[in-house]
Structure 1
Amino acid sequence: MGEFSNKVVLVTGGTRGIGRAIAEAFLREGAKVAVTYARSDDKARELEKMGILAIKCDVANRDEVRRVAEIVGSRLGDVSVLVNNAGVMYLMPFESYNEELFDRMIGVNLKGIIYTTLEFLPQLKRTRGAIINIASNAGIGTAFEGTTYYAITKAAVIILTKRMAFELGKYGIRVNAVAPGWVETDMTTANRTPEEIEKTKALVRSRTMLNTTGVPEDIANVVLFLASERARYITGQTIVADGGRIDYLTHGI
């Protein structure tokens, strides 16, 4: 059996992209895995055939998150690893501010982490579990057009991670974040032609020390480490997995 044999893991936004790679990685390590999803019913059915519990839920709605906690607790047991991965990104220039879209990003990217953590906290206290929040290098300040409002929500995730680690450490709960760079997923390629996608990948490669772009498994590997006993002395940290991006806006804070 794997390293996480019989441990219960919840991954929000777990039917596609990075979330799916994380869920499948934990499954291979022997965990009992549950995911939430917002829209992808067909992909949820695929995961259920693999033995993953998939629950439809808008993480920006605390009542729906509470229902998920009840279902997971009763069917699988107390969660030992919570991966707050659910996120949305709407690209818009600063001057084209759209309040509805910004509020939605705050609801999913930030409040979703708060609601999910609060609802699963009783379980995590009993298991002395680990929480991994998925942030973004946008939250640290990469220079990519149209990502200002998205970056605000992810910067909030980074400071939230530190504060959660500070407040939950007394329960033996570790809280860390992963800040991915550009990873090829449905989110980053949506509504783009193959030519546009290749142009974006070439631009990202030119801005990384390793001259490469990421795949979901790159992020899943970091999450597995942070959830494991090998990371027992690490909390309140954000690990940036972006190939060594060099296009940060400034060098200060």
Structure 2
Amino acid sequence: MEREFEGSVVVVTGGTRGIGRAIAESFTKEGAKVAAFFVSSDKKAEELKSMGILPVKCDVSNREDVKRAADIVQRELGETNILVNNAGIMYRMALENYEESLLDKMFAVNVKGIINTVLEFLPQLKATRGTIVNIASNAGIGTALEGTTYYAITKAGVIILTRRMAFELGKYGIRVNAVAPGWVETDLAAAGRSLDEIEKIKDFIRSRTMLRMTGLPDHIAPAVLFLASERAKYMTGQVIVVDGGRTDYLTHGI
């Protein structure tokens, strides 16, 4: 029986850990040839290599680096037809503790990184009438978690980029959608926090989700695969929220 993504070439940025790794592994299990971009997790990259995934060191905030990486993917795997923009960074800070340099770094990766990868992979995606899935966040829609205001700005940018890119690229047959995860147990979510702090965050999230649970990377990957599949071929410009039914949105408006 043929697997769903047999013959597909998939690029996952930030693909060696957390949500990105779950996505890369899921596509591989479904028969795709996968390249996982990473910046610093060399050991994890080697682990993926043993699974048949092509690790490519690439800083998505640097367009020249993305161009180099896109050439490697095309040479090693063929023309990309699925691009998953997952790479992201987060610096937590209260509104009044604003640090411009940290916001600039988040914009460089979370927003400009998507622009860079889409533009450098666009010739391949045009040729394959491919699809793009961006990883946003429910923070970009407006959840009430302390210290994430500036991160939320960048993820709101991902959401509007998704819709604008869907509008601009639809004429080429390219679909662009996004998944907006809620709080997921990853290195990114745990960074800079003690074990006690992490447990308190988990309790907070559980108390504010309809399902009374926190997310795992494997909860997010299926939504990405669905949007990349033929089952979603009449969907573009959409954002699927996967957050356990969060109840603490800041307003009820859209």
Distance in structure 1 (CA, Å) of the matches to 2:145 and 2:202: 13
Distance in structure 1 (CA, Å) of the matches to 2:78 and 2:189: 34
Give me the CA root mean square deviation: 0.7
Q: Which residue of 2 aligns with 1:104?
A: 105
State the Cα deviation string for residues 69-101 of structure 1 (Å, max 9, x = none): 100011100001000000000000011111111
Q: Which residue of 2 aligns with 1:17?
A: 18
Q: Which residue of 2 aligns with 1:224?
A: 225
Letter in 2 for 1:87: G
The answer to whether structure 1 residue 165 and structure 2 residue 151 are counterparts is: no
SS of 2:83's partner is: strand
Gaps of 5+ in 2: none
State the Cα deviation string for residues 17-36 of structure 1 (Å, max 9, x = none): 00000000000000000011
State the Cα deviation string for residues 90-133 of structure 1 (Å, max 9, x = none): 00001111111100000000000000000000000111111000
- How far did 1:193 drift? 2.3
State the Cα deviation string for residues 118-163 of structure 1 (Å, max 9, x = none): 0000000111111000000000000010101000000010011000
Q: Which residue of 1 aligns with 2:197?
A: 196
State the Cα deviation string for residues 44-93 of structure 1 (Å, max 9, x = none): 01101111111111100000000011000111000010000000000000
Q: Which residue of 2 aligns with 1:210?
A: 211
SS of 2:250's partner is: coil
Q: Which residue of 1 aligns with 2:125?
A: 124
Under a length normalisation based on structure 1, what TM-score does the superposition of the two structures give?
0.99
Distance in structure 2 (CA, Å) of the matches to 1:81 and 1:217: 19
SS of 2:81's partner is: strand
Letter in 2 for 1:230: R
SS of 1:191's partner is: coil
Q: Which residue of 1 aligns with 2:61?
A: 60
SS of 1:179's partner is: strand
State the Cα deviation string for residues 217-240 of structure 1 (Å, max 9, x = none): 111000000000000011000000
Gaps of 5+ in 1: none
SS of 1:79's partner is: coil
Distance in structure 2 (CA, Å) of the matches to 1:94 and 1:159: 22
Distance in structure 2 (CA, Å) of the matches to 1:193 and 1:63: 37
Letter in 2 for 1:134: I
Distance in structure 2 (CA, Å) of the matches to 1:233 and 1:202: 38
Give the number of equivalent residue pairs. 253
SS of 1:176's partner is: strand
The answer to whether structure 1 residue 2 and structure 2 residue 6 are counterparts is: no
Distance in structure 1 (CA, Å) of the matches to 2:115 and 2:219: 25
Q: Which residue of 2 aligns with 1:43?
A: 44
Distance in structure 2 (CA, Å) of the matches to 1:191 and 1:44: 23
Q: Percent identity?
A: 70
Under a length normalisation based on structure 2, what TM-score does the superposition of the two structures give?
0.98
Letter in 1 for 2:182: G
Letter in 1 for 2:71: E
Distance in structure 2 (CA, Å) of the matches to 1:130 and 1:155: 20
